[in-house]
Structure 1
Amino acid sequence: MAGHSKWANIQHRKNRQDEKKGRLWTKIIREITVSAKNGGPDPESNAQLRAALEKASDANIPKDNINRAIHRGSKESDSVNYEEINYEGYGINGSAIIVYTMTDNKVKTVSEVRHVFTKNGGNLGQNGSVSFLFKKLGQFVFPVDASIEKIMEIALQFDIEEIETTDNKSTEVLCHVNDYFDLYDKFKNELTEIKFNSDIVIKPINFIKLNPEESLKMHKLLLELENLEDVQSVHTNAVLVEKI
């Protein structure tokens, strides 16, 4: 029985990993589809699509899946009806939450988002209720061995919000979102031997620290939001204790 139990635990863990990977793939595929719809199917002229394709490559999504997503979003196909819709609300102890979604059924999506807020002690608010508490920025994260001097030389050609060394000694560059794709291309073309991660992120202007009990509740709320099918990302100004 012990052997069976061990196998069952391994299988359960594998199923959870597969489920997590499947959700990630779904989010990236949807992002590719919407990017192709908004800016066309050619990544050379569509920086948003090019960035989404980088995520797909990092996630090892098969090329056939990627090509189908691009086709669905292109003008050659009218089968895609995804909309980008953002929701704002309040979590535990008045903390702020922004939920980014891509959906083809906004009635279903808002119902699911509201349900998760309500059952976990939060409240779904109106548009604009908490967005002023955040900044939307382009983010680039470089590995420890990357040349900070070269990164700064390129970055300072743009209106940079911040350049800093993170806790794990990597270098983070934050730029205004309007410069994100131009700076992305600049880094990609001039730092050809360095692999970096990049995305458009939401940074809080100020933070609300939660105690252990509040952190447990907030963690559950955020996790359930992230696990919703139509949710692309979730952002908060809450600071949870490290060990919940």
Structure 2
Amino acid sequence: MSGHSKWANIKHRKAAQDAKKGVAFQKLVRAIMVAAKEGGADLAMNIRLKTFVDKAKEANMTNETIDRAIKKGSGGLDGENYEELYYEGYGPGGVAVLVESLTDNKNRTSSEVRFVFSRNGGSLGEAGCVAWMFERRGVIVVSGEGLDEDELMMNALDGGADDVENNGDGTFSIYCTPSAFSAVRETLSGAGYHIASSDVQMTPKNTVTVSERGTASRLLRLLDALEDLDDVQNVTANFDIPDEVMESLEA
């Protein structure tokens, strides 16, 4: 299992813990509002909105809260005006970092992101400096005991997936294009697979190996600090930490 995949799984567990504390709810509400504002309130016609609504339901958000967020975003209710901003930079070890945010105060968010980069051994770059190293893909993680990889791959490909990766810890990551995301997710769910997490996100085209323990520790500290910012929705980086280094960091 690559360090990047292991970090992604740690993020999913952390998101589940944050959801219990209510931290993730506000981020999901913002995402639903912006998706509804940009693509309309019809889930059948707005794949991005449907994705966030599904995530909200997975986090046990009430239908009332979801409906209210959709109405705010689509103009049915008064609400905050959020805009989507991307920040690009480099972390320890020359790792490319892409930060996705939703904010109602650009100056505040920019200042916070810049501070976190500088405090944790990174540097904020100009727009476009690393975005070309990433592509938007649907990522669905399934888990369960004794999963048959060949059978899972057949089901995933039938649903429209591009690739299946064995994470080595009892979970598999299924990748697909954003347009096929809903169909792949529904196919896997209908086949009885437990979906641990699912999202349409930026993923790295290639990775940089970070094998020095101190550098890896500083990098993960930077990524965690960025994730913890209220206005940040998602953080992606093109790194790979060898298993033995990752395990030493978790010890």
Answer yes or no: same fold by TM over 0.5.
yes
Q: How many Å apart are 1:150 and its aligned residue?
A: 5.8
Q: Does 1:238 align with 2:239?
A: yes
- TM-score, normalised via structure 2 length: 0.78
Could you say which residue in structure 1 is the equivalent of 2:170?
169
- TM-score, normalised via structure 1 length: 0.80
Per-residue CA distance 1:16-64 (angstroms, 9 max, x = gap): x678732211111111111222222232333222221221122122333
Could you say which residue in structure 1 is the equivalent of 2:228?
227
Whether the aligned pair in 2 keeps the contact of 1:166 and 1:172 (CA below 8 Å) is yes
Q: How many Å apart are 1:129 and its aligned residue?
A: 0.8
Could you say which residue in structure 2 is the equivalent of 1:45?
45
Whether the aligned pair in 1 keeps the contact of 2:93 and 2:210 (CA below 8 Å) is no
- List aligned pairs for 1:130-145, cutoff 5 A: 130-144=130-144
Q: How many residues are treated as equivalent by the alignment?
A: 226
The structure whose RCO (Cα within 8 Å, separation 6+) is larger is 2
Q: Percent identity?
A: 35
Q: Does 1:30 align with 2:30?
A: yes
- List aligned pairs for 1:98-113, cutoff 5 A: 98-113=98-113
Could you say which residue in structure 2 is the equivalent of 1:12?
none
Give, in whole Å, the separation in 1 of the partners of 2:131 and 2:182. Answer: 23
- Please tell me whether Structure 1 or Structure 2 has the larger radius of gyration of its CA atoms: 1
Gaps of 5+ in 2: 1-16
- List aligned pairs for 1:91-130, cutoff 5 A: 91-130=91-130
Q: How many Å apart are 1:212 and its aligned residue?
A: 1.7
Q: How many Å apart are 1:140 and its aligned residue?
A: 1.8
- List aligned pairs for 1:52-71, cutoff 5 A: 52-71=52-71
Q: Calculate the aligned-residue CA RMSD, in Å.
A: 2.6
Give, in whole Å, the separation in 2 of the partners of 1:37 and 1:88. Answer: 25
Whether the aligned pair in 2 keeps the contact of 1:133 and 1:206 (CA below 8 Å) is no
Question: Helix, strand or coil for the counterpart of 1:43?
Answer: coil
Whether the aligned pair in 1 keeps the contact of 2:98 and 2:237 (CA below 8 Å) is yes
Whether the aligned pair in 1 keeps the contact of 2:19 and 2:59 (CA below 8 Å) is no
Question: Helix, strand or coil for the counterpart of 2:81?
Answer: coil
Give, in whole Å, the separation in 2 of the partners of 1:106 and 1:89. Answer: 17
Question: Helix, strand or coil for the counterpart of 2:41?
Answer: coil
Distance 1:155 1:216, change over 3 A: closer
